[in-house]
Structure formats: structure tokens, C-alpha cells
Amino acid sequence: MELRIVKGASTLDDSGLYMNGRIYVPGDALSTFVGMWQQKIIFFNSPLAGKRLCITVLSTDSLARGLPQDLEHFIGLCAAAGAQIIFHTGGKLPASHIIVAVEPGSPRLAVSYLGAALRSKPLARKLVNKVRHGLQLAYLPEPAPFRKPQYNLRLGWTARLFTPAVAIQWPADLALGAWLFAGLMEFLAAGGDLDGNLFAAGAEKVVAPLAEPAPAPEAEYLPEPQPETPAPDPPAPEPELQQPLPPLPKIAAPVLRPPRTAPAGGQSAAMSRAQYPELFTGRIKYTIAKKPFT
């Protein structure tokens, strides 16, 4: 597996090799080897090597439940680069080379400085610039003195005058660990340009190229199958003949009779047999008189 080499606060063009639990590096870098981080990066001539880094977490949560994940990532990077980590849980701050106070879960991001501005403000400004440009933040205020007396951070006179000390308000949704580490390395090396993405927690590991797969054995010769003769299509069903409908019955045309008209005087010629029985005793003959020339 190929390893990136960080010498001081710069990334070398040469690379190392990690194979079978051993690290192979260029010969000119062996004398300044410090450590390795997650089998991806090896540190040579690290400015953090041998430095006592005091970490104080401004929270009342129990350490048994663990620190925030990104803060652990930052501490792991510092330890891999050779720093001696000192955890401060209260009282007077111990003697150290750098002091970092972290306030996790803050609603906003801010970097402040502790003690004398002459020693601490340059470190705070370096971290602000690195985080602002690395995360491409729209705005991040310049460092100001840390004014939260409720935490009662007590620095001795020597630490107040000569030890760089910063306080970081660390929101839970921002991954700052890699960029804070890169800024801290550049500050101690008095120069350099480290890309924080190189130390990000989700950075992809360099994987060695896979060996070419062995060629597949040749398949035995088999005769080509003969195409099957397609079955003939079934004959289409003959259409059913429709039987002719029976002829409609003939209906005789109705006989139209002229309407009966009542005789002059307004009475009908029809008479009831029961009322006039004498008129129905014999047959009455009527004589039609014709007018001349008709």
C-alpha cells in the first residue's frame, strides 16, 4: 500500500510503501521519521514531535461516553504527528507548549485566544484563516479575547506570557479536526501549505492495483444446435353461417270506412232496438231518386 509522506508542514513528492507490517521509505527521510496515521500518511520531521499539547474540554459530560468524533479525530492526528497529549479536567493548566480549549456543541463557530495576545493571537488567527479557506465559509470573525469567566481557566504567569493558547467554540455539525491540525502544523513550522482534505476522516485510502484475473479455461467444442422446424399455424376457424331470419307475417291493410254523419236536425240515424222495436220488424227499402242528367 502506498503511503503519503508529510515532512515538516509540507507534502513530499516521494511516497513510501507499507507491506506485510513493514514501512519502506526513502533513505534520506529515515532519520526524521515520527509516526504513521491510519496506514495512509507517515510523518517525518514533524513540528509537533515532542511537543506537549494540553487539551481541555469545556463540558460537564462524562469522558466515559467518549469525546465528540471530530475532536477525537483531531487528537489522533496530533498524536500520530508526535505530540504528547495532556488532558486537563480542572484546576490550574499544566505546563505545556500549546493549550487548546474546546467548547463542543456551541451554536456558532468562533476562535478566541487566551493569555497575552502577543503569543496566542497569531495562533488563533492562523487557525481562523485555515478553517475559513478550507471549509469555504462565507464569514468567520477574527479572533477575540476569550471572555467566559464561568469556566475559570487559570493560566500561570509563565503560560500567560509564553504559551500559545486558544479556545474554540466547536459546533457539532462542522468537521474542523483536519483543518485545525493543518493550521497547527503550519504555525509550528513557521510556513508550509498543508491541505486539510489530506487528513479528512472520510479520505479515501490508496489501494494497490489488483492483479489481472487469470484467463478463463476454453470451453469444450459442442455442435451447434439445429434450428427447430416451426410448427404449422393452426387453421383459422371457419366463420359461422348465420341462418336467415323468418319472413315477417303479412298484415292486411286496414279498410277505411267513411265516417257517419248525422242527418239534418242534429239527431243521429242510429236507433236502439230496445227503444224502437217496431222499426226492426221488417226490412225497409230505400229508393234513391236520381236527378236528371246525372
Helices (H), the chain: 69-80, 117-134, 157-162, 177-189
pLDDT tens digits, 66-80? 888 999 999 999 999
- pTM greater than 0.75 (yes/no): no
Could you tell me the residue ranges of all domains in the chain?
A: 47-199
One-letter identity of residue 239: P
Q: How many CB atoms lie within 10 A of CB 212?
A: 6
CB 40 within 8 A of CB 48: no
pLDDT tens digits, 178-208? 999 999 999 999 888 888 898 887 654 333 3
* Band of pLDDT at residue 35, cut at 50, 70 and 90: confident
- All 3 cell numbers of residue 209? 492495483
pLDDT tens digits, 93-148? 888 999 999 999 889 999 999 988 999 999 999 999 999 999 999 999 999 999 99
Region of 273 please: left (phi>0), alpha (psi -120 to 50) or beta. alpha
| Residue 279 DSSP code | G
pLDDT higher at 42 or 250: 42
CATH architecture of 47-199: 3-Layer(aba) Sandwich (3.40)
What is the separation, in whole angstroms, between the first and last Cα of the chain? 142
pLDDT tens digits, 215-227? 444 544 455 556 6
